[in-house]
Amino acid sequence: MQEPLLALDKVTKTFRRSGGSIVNAVRSVSLDIGPGETVALVGESGSGKSTLGRIALGLLAPDSGRVLLAGRCLGDLSAAALRDARIAMQPIFQDASASLNPRRTVRELLAQALRHHRDSVEQRSVDLLDHVGLRPGTEYLLRFPHELSGGQRQRVAIARALAMEPRLIIADEPLSGADVSIRGQILNLLIDIKEEHRVAYLMITHDISIARAFADRVAVMMQGEIVESGPAEAVLHAPTHPYTKQLVAAVPMLDAPTARDREIGDA
């Protein structure tokens, strides 16, 4: 069997509230992501899905359990080794206006990611911007995040992630801040990136329809535990766990195009 790119092995994380009560954010969660695979982590707020994302990125150490990136346990690494190892995983956050330093221009933001290519930062930046659909890239270099639209900001965040040539992109609600009409643009961009660069995705989302259409596999999280997982179509079309059923039923859906149904009032 192929070795998973990222493996979470019985990961647990608890937080202590200021009142002293203990919150089990993540409870013994195991999840594998293979190279080039797209996995959606679905859940509602407070389900622990974002905490799990931060643990996967190595931004948060689990209380117990292991995070294995290409077979290496992040917890065993020195600070310097962890820094180098997790470059292979890049985050995309929900709100690109919060994930881009408001004081930096697009050029400066990309230069941070391209700091090992000092001689060719300018050219690489323009190429990256072109690549994520901000064309011509030179037009965007001197702009500040607040001078861009929400969709454009998210593209800049994606360009910065791509600069690190990641093998896994962990996207935490990357579409929640975007207008419905823009979502398709971002999703298509993510698909292009996957095809071109063979990256794997961990897409953290509350949106079942997007999870279904975008991911190969889906894991449903509730109160810190993964209650159901499997192929996206199977899990979300024929859910077995009561919570998944409830979740699927709660979404007000628009039906896919049906052939000329004439339920409409006569003209």
Partner 1 sequence: MAATRRFWHRFLAYRAGAAATIYVLVLVVIAVATQLLSGVDPHQLSNEVMRAPSPAHLLGTDELGRDVLLGIVYGVWVSLTVGFSAALAATVLGVVIGATAGHYGGAFDLIVMRISEVFQVVPSFILAAVIVAMSGPGLTRVVMVIALLAWPQIARLMRGEVIRIKQLEFVDAVRCLGVREWVILATEVIPNAVAPILAAGTLIVGQAILLEAALSFFGLSSADLISWGRMLNSGQRFLFNAWWLSLFPGTAIFVTVLAFNLLGDAIGSALNPRTTR
Partner 2 sequence: MPPPRQNILEIEGLTLSYRARGAVVRAMDGVNLVVGDGEAVGLVGESGSGKSSLARVVLGLVPERVSRIEAGRIVIAGRDVTRLTQAEWEGVRGNPVAIVFQDPLSYLNPVMQIGRQIAESILRHTPDLKVAARVDELLELVRLPPACATAYPHELSGGMRQRALLAIALACRPRLLIADEPTTALDVTTQAEILALLKDLRQRLGMAMLLISHDLGIVASACERIYVMYAGHTVEWGRTQAVFGYPAHPYTIGLLKAAQAARNAQGRFATISGDPPNLAELPTGCPFVPRCPYAMAECSRAMPGPFDAQGDAGHTVRCWRYHETASGIAVARPARDAG
- Check binding of 165 to partner 1 (CB under 8 A): no
Tell me the HSE value of 39 on the side-chain side, using a 13 A CA sphere: 25
- Check binding of 44 to partner 1 (CB under 8 A): no
Contacted by 152, from partner 2, partner 1, none: CB < 5 to 8 Å by type: partner 2
Report, in Å, the least distance between residue 147 CB and partner 1: 9
Local structure of residue 53 (DSSP, 8 states): H
Closest by Cα among 205, 95, 195, 208 to 154:
95
83 vs 135, beta carbon nearer partner 1: 83
Local structure of residue 146 (DSSP, 8 states): G
Tell me the HSE value of 40 on the side-chain side, using a 13 A CA sphere: 26
The span from the CA of 54 to the CA of 169, in Å, is 12
The span from the CA of 198 to the CA of 205, in Å, is 21
- Check binding of 3 to partner 2 (CB under 8 A): no
User: For the stretch 2-37, what's the b/e string if a residue is b when 16 or more beta carbons lie within 10 angstroms of its beta carbon?
Assistant: eebbbbbbebbbeeeeeeeeeeebbbebebbbbebb
50 vs 152, beta carbon nearer partner 2: 152
Cis amide prior to 239 (ω within 30 degrees): no
160 vs 217, beta carbon nearer partner 1: 160
- Check binding of 91 to partner 1 (CB under 8 A): yes
- Check binding of 179 to partner 2 (CB under 8 A): yes
98 vs 213, beta carbon nearer partner 2: 213
Report, in Å, the least distance between residue 150 CB and partner 2: 7
Which residues here bind partner 1, judged by CB under 8 A?
54, 57, 59, 79, 83-84, 86-87, 89-91, 93, 95, 98-103, 105, 112-113, 142, 144, 146, 157, 160, 164
Which residues here bind partner 2, judged by CB under 8 A?
44-45, 149-152, 179-185, 187-188, 191, 206-210, 212-213, 246-247, 249-261, 263-265, 267
